[in-house]
Chain A
Amino acid sequence: MDYRQAMHSRAATPQEAVRNIKSGDRVYLTSYCAVPQKVLKALVEYAPELDNVEVCHSLIISDADHTAPEMKNHLHVNTLFISDSVREAVQEGRVDFTPVLFSEYTLLFRDNFLPIDVAIIQCSPPDEHGFCSLGIEVGQSKTPAESAKLIIAEINQQMPRTLGDSFIHFNRLDYVVPVDYKLPELSMSEGETNWVVEKIAEQIAELIPDYATLQMGIGAIPDAVLKYLNNKKELGVHTELFSDGVIDPFESGVLTGSRKSLHPGKIIAGFILGSQRLYEWVNDNPFIEMHPTEYVNDPFVIAQNYRQVAINSAIEIDLTGQVCADSLGHKLYSGVGGQLDFIYGASRSEGGIPIITLPSTITLPNGNTNSRISAMLTRGAGVTTTRNHIHYVVTEFGVAKLYGKTIRQRTQQLINIAHPDFREQLVYQAKELKYM
């Protein structure tokens, strides 16, 4: 079969494609750096003719015109992770948020908790067998797309062809919108070197044994850790996402995956966030296997890796070890993402090392500095990793080992890694609470 010919027969303009969306439909939108931009734009333009279309997505790196106030009654967004571009709309109550473990995210669609009418996805051009790769966002796209009644796909000449359980056959695509644009880039580092991030990354690197399998959550710290692993042997990766940081350890021979107990010799991930350099590196690269998130993030799968290290960031932690990573008090900020999937999976892995990391302080918009280690979480905070799951906590002032420890021991250890300016106050509060 000639798929170029077939492509012609299914080709549609973005404007034509979105006319297949009907009032009352539930639409799934591919997220991260793979948001299908042309179709989304056409949907926003077509929206005034639609009533009550629900758009489900995860973290999106794109404009959020679809969440603008004038979309009310036309498009309604249900996001399963709060990205920068939709945060304000969530906090104002215009966009809905559904809390879910990422290991179960795709199953909401597959198992008909949220049945999908139309999936809007982005993929690579078909290969000679007719398979399109979902490219840099496989994890949360493949299963929702397969569960949709109708698939509209942007086929982007610039979408890399990633390997793994990452393909969808051209025959499954109902409408094809050919596009050719550069994918958005997202850098994990914050530009200038930040000593807090570097100090934390160095200490985490010391916790990582040879032959470990790594998961890096989103953010500057997890990616910075990779710079400090040059003296390690035969590391591997099994992670929700990865970024540019993996290329150098691969090239220097540190990242081989050869000692992984599951999928040896392969990086396993759900999606990729990074630079054009990274997108080119993953293209047709047999070292990398992308899989749906219900597999990658499943704690039962993660636990099969020997020495799984999980590195995840947090917003706030209390003296008993309760971790908040998804809200500022009651204000919804992000989502649990894969944090608990990997923290729990790593805790169940032989020799596993579950790490929560955070700078000891936060600077508020008004210039004040607060401790992120608090006697009690801010009222309304969401607990993403419970005190019953917690193992290691790392700040720029050290490492607290909380697992199997009493509240008294936890309190002492956490105060020791708090910012020195806040330690006295924390001791005072801990005593009032009879935690020490």
Chain B
Amino acid sequence: MDVNKLYQSRVVTAEEAVQQIKSGNILFLTGNCSVPQKLLNALVQYAPSLRNVEICQALTIGPTNYVKPEMEGHLHVNTMFVSANVRQAVHEGRVDFTPVLLSEFTLLFKNKHIPLDVALIHCSPPDEHGFCSLGIEVGLTKSPAESAKIIIAEVNQQMPRTLGDSFVHLSRLNYIVPVNYRLPELLMVEGEPDPNVDKIAAFIADMIPDGATMQMGIGAIPDSVLKYLYHKKDLGVHSELFSDGVIDLFEAGILTGQRKTIHPGKMIAGFILGSQRLYNWVDDNPLIELHPTEYVNDPFVIAQNDRQVAINSALEVDLTGQVCADSIGPKLYSGVGGQLDFIYGAARSKGGVPIIALPSTATLRNGTTISRINPMLNTGAGVTTSRNHVHYIVTEYGVASLYGKTIRQRAHQLINIAHPDFRDDLKKQAKELHYI
């Protein structure tokens, strides 16, 4: 096969490509730091000629012009995770949200709950065998793309070639838009180090045994934990995503993956969010295997790792152990993501350590400080990890071990790791509820 000839035969401009999209179509848009920007721009420009096109996506990093009010009637977004760029539109009811476990996200498309007409994806140039790597976003893209009738791909000279179950063959790409631009960067830790984040990270590091396999959720805390692991031995990674923090740990010889039960010696992940340094590091790196999320996030798969540690953030927790991570009261804020997949998978792993981490307080826009540990969740809050699933909760004041504990014991432990300013009030309210 002449790869180059086949490639050239599929090349179109972004403007030509989006004309393949018809009114009423359902589209899939690759997300995370892999949003195909040129195509999306072209789509927004072409949108006035389209009616009722639905765009399905997860978290996207990048432009928001496709969710603007003037897209109404033309483009309608159905997001399975509320990222910062679409949050306002979700709150205003312009963008729809579908709650789903990330382990089942791709199956919505594969199993035709949401049949896709067109997938807009982003991949690396083809190798000599004609395979393009989906690069830094494999997990949520591969299966939806394969289930679409038409695939339109931006082939980016700067998309790293990640290994694993991460490839789509050139022959499957109906239209190719060659591009050459830098991928957006997303740093997990920005600005000044937050002493509370560091305290939480240090507590978590103490809970991680040698030989553990780690999952790090999105956010500053999970990535900060990695700084405190330099005295550990033979750690591994099986995670929905990872970021820059793993590089130094690998180079220090801590992150060997040698004791992993499944995929020993490999880092398993679905996608990557980080800096250009990270993107260069993962390029053609045999240490890293990216896989579809229905595999990576499957609790039945995760549980096969001994000593699986899951580290996930939350917005609020109640005194019985109900964890809210996806909303502020009834306002949809993010999504469950892989939180419960990994919390439950780690709970079922031999020697597993499922951790929910959150600062004890939040500061509101008006300057008021509120406790994130509350007698009851705010009305309308979404429970992402139930009180029947929860194990460890960590704040900057310590660790609460809730699994197998009564409501009374849970309330006491959680009050002990609440901010001291709120403890008396929590005690009083817990008594009124007959929790203590």
Contact = CB atoms under 8 A, between A and B. Distances in A.
Interface of A: 78, 91-93, 96-101, 104, 108, 113-114, 300, 303, 318, 320-322, 330, 332, 336, 340, 347-348, 376-377, 379-380, 382-384, 386-389, 403-409, 433-436
Contact of B383 (A99, A113, A376, A383): A383
Contacts of A405: 98
B20 interface: no
Interface string B97-137: 11111001000100001100000000000000000000000
Contacts of B382: 320, 322, 386-387
B404 A114 contact: yes
B388 A336 contact: yes
Contact of A383 (B100, B386, B433): B386
Pick from B99, B321, B384, B406 the residue with the most CB of A within 10 Å. Answer: B99
Interface stretch (B88-96, B138-146, B392-400): B88-96
A382 B322 contact: yes
A156 B320 CA distance: 39
A126 B386 CA distance: 42
A82 to B, nearest CB: 11
13 contacts: A96-B408, A104-B347, A300-B303, A336-B386, A340-B386, A376-B379, A376-B380, A382-B386, A383-B386, A388-B340, A406-B96, A433-B380, A434-B91
A407 B96 contact: yes
Contacts of B436: 93
B113 A97 contact: no
Contacts of A340: 386, 388
Contacts of A387: 99, 382
B404 A100 contact: yes
B193 to A, nearest CB: 33
A434 B97 CA distance: 11
Contacts of A300: 300, 303, 348
B57 interface: no
A99 B407 contact: yes
CB-CB nearest 4 A-B residue pairs: A113-B404, A383-B383, A404-B113, A406-B96
Contacts of B104: 347
A404 B406 contact: no
B71 interface: no
A434 B331 CA distance: 9
Given A330-B376, A386-B336, A99 B320 contact: yes
A320 B322 contact: no
Nearest to B113: A404
Nearest to B92: A434
A94 to B, nearest CB: 9
Contacts of A434: 91-93
A403 B105 CA distance: 11
Interface in B387-436: 387-389, 403-409, 433-436
A382 B78 CA distance: 28
Contacts of A384: 386, 388
A96 B97 CA distance: 38
Nearest to B105: A404
B118 to A, nearest CB: 19
Interface residues of B, number: 49
A436 B96 CA distance: 9
Interface in B323-379: 330, 332, 336, 340, 347-348, 375-377, 379
Nearest to A407: B97
A404 B100 CA distance: 7
B300 to A, nearest CB: 5
Given A78-B406, A101-B389, A347-B104, 5 more contacts: A99-B386, A99-B388, A382-B322, A386-B382, A408-B93
Highest count of chain A CB atoms <10 Å: which of B91, B96, B382, B404: B404
B401 to A, nearest CB: 10
Given A91-B434, A99-B320, A330-B433, A386 B406 contact: no
Nearest to B97: A407
Contacts of B93: 408, 434-436
Interface in B263-312: 300, 303
A225 to B, nearest CB: 25
Tell me if B's interface is mostly helix, strand, loop or mixed. Answer: loop
Contacts of A92: 434
A266 to B, nearest CB: 23
Contacts of A377: 379-380
Given A388-B101, A408-B96, A434-B93, A376 B330 contact: yes
A97 B407 contact: yes
Interface string B154-188: 00000000000000000000000000000000000
B99 A320 contact: yes
A303 to B, nearest CB: 8
A108 B404 contact: yes
A96 B404 contact: no
Contacts of A383: 322, 383, 386
Contact of B403 (A78, A91, A93, A113): A113
A97 to B, nearest CB: 5
A99 B321 contact: yes
Contacts of B408: 93, 96
Contacts of A403: 113
A197 to B, nearest CB: 27
Contact of B99 (A96, A101, A321, A330): A321
Nearest to B114: A404
Contact of B404 (A91, A98, A380): A98
Name the residue in A104, A377, A383 with the highest tally of chain B Cβ atoms < 10 Å from its Cβ: A383
Contacts of B376: 330, 379-380
Nearest to A111: B404
A318 B329 CA distance: 13
A272 B336 CA distance: 36
Q: Which of B104, B387, B435 has the largest count of A CB atoms less than 10 A from its CB?
A: B387
Contacts of A436: 93
A55 B100 CA distance: 39
B321 A322 contact: no
Nearest to A91: B434
A330 B432 CA distance: 11
Contacts of B300: 300, 303, 348
A384 B387 CA distance: 8
Contacts of A407: 96-99, 332
B109 to A, nearest CB: 9
Nearest to B347: A104
A165 B64 CA distance: 58
Contacts of A98: 404-407
Nearest to B95: A406
Nearest to A90: B434
A138 to B, nearest CB: 22
B262 to A, nearest CB: 15
A251 to B, nearest CB: 37
A241 to B, nearest CB: 18
A421 to B, nearest CB: 23
A320 B98 CA distance: 9
Contacts of A388: 99-101, 336, 340, 384
B422 to A, nearest CB: 18
A55 B264 CA distance: 44
